[in-house]
Homo-oligomer: A and B are copies of this chain.
Amino acid sequence: MKIGILGYGNLGRGVECAIKENPDTELVAVFTRRNPATVKIQTPNVPVVHVDDVKAWVGKIDVMILCGGSATDLPTQTPEYAAMFNVVDSFDTHAKIPEHFANVDAAAKANGHVAIISVGWDPGLFSLARAYANAILPDGNDYTFWGKGVSQGHSDAIRRVKGVKNAKQYTVPIAGALDAVRSGKNPELTTRQKHLRECYVVLEEGADAAEVENAIKTMPNYFADYDTVVNFISEEELLTKHAGLAHGGFVIRSGKTGVDKEHNHIIEFNLKLDSNPEFTTAVLVAYARAAYRLNQEGSNGCKTVFDIAPAYLSAQSADELRAHLL
């Protein structure tokens, strides 16, 4: 399976690693908007190509993995490249998924390609956990907790506060809330009861710490509805101790069965990831395998994780899966 990578940031580098773990995949080219001469990749003898020259690669790539961002890149890139290749993306703006799906579906169908969107862990594996659990326990409640991990959006919001030089924000699930959910109590949890926001902030010289702390804690949407802890640290400490990309989270469904609904069941899926981008791209590569196989079978159009039978993700044959993993 010949794979192309479009965009060589954290995700692009992650895809490159994941390809080495999957002997049925081969990296054939990396596409970039930068000057290709300035982009050094890990894999020997694989060309780095300017994105303007991508058309020359039509027919030479089985699946193009799109490694752009959801805010501005993927809404235009995924339909554009689905017209040329089978594609997989990690579009994660939940509210805009129906619109993105429709755009990508039109482009993929018109050109006979398979496009799988919103692949990763949330959306992605967490969506699968929710879908399976909802189908099995129709009478129940869903809970999703994220973290502990860095929220890029919240870190950016802190950096926009006057007097802040740099910042990282960790989303931390609250243990007591998790325990209450796992115990089958089906609690109704407020925003504040589910997650804590832990901030590490580097001040500009002369900035007023109390003012900055207040500005962060009262920021609407981002922090006002949460318990927020603000820690002031040096830039050196931020760069050495808070550069990691670890993340994770929990999807739990708590539901009832029985003649009198007397039995409670807990279905839990959780992830603890040392590297958010490397794990996300490991999922992307598994779904690239599915996109290729589905297209080989004559399928086309836009799909999500809900539309893909698990066997399509695996390098093992159906016989092997039944014998060893069932």
Chain A interface (Cβ < 8 Å from any Cβ of B): 14, 17-18, 21-22, 42, 94, 97-98, 101, 118, 123, 125, 127-132, 134-139, 182, 184, 248, 257-259, 262-275, 278-279, 282-283, 286, 289, 304-311, 313-316, 318-319, 321-323, 325-326
Contacts and interface: CB of A to CB of B under 8 A. Distances in A.
B275 A326 contact: no
A289 to B, nearest CB: 8
Name the residue among A18, A134, A137, A310 with the largest chain B CB count within 10 angstroms. Answer: A310
A37 B53 CA distance: 76
Contacts of A98: 319, 322-323
Nearest to A255: B282
Contacts of A304: 321-322, 326
A123 B306 CA distance: 21
A74 to B, nearest CB: 14
A283 B101 CA distance: 29
A267 B271 contact: yes
A310 B319 CA distance: 20
For this chain, the copies found in one complex come to 2
A225 B278 CA distance: 39
A139 B319 CA distance: 21
A42 B259 contact: yes
A167 to B, nearest CB: 24
Contacts of A286: 135-136
A195 B316 CA distance: 29
A288 to B, nearest CB: 11
Given A138-B22, A278-B257, A310 B131 contact: yes
Contact of A268 (B21, B270, B315): B270
A322 B102 CA distance: 11
6 contacts: A131-B314, A257-B278, A257-B282, A265-B279, A269-B269, A270-B270
B271 A268 contact: yes
Nearest to A130: B325
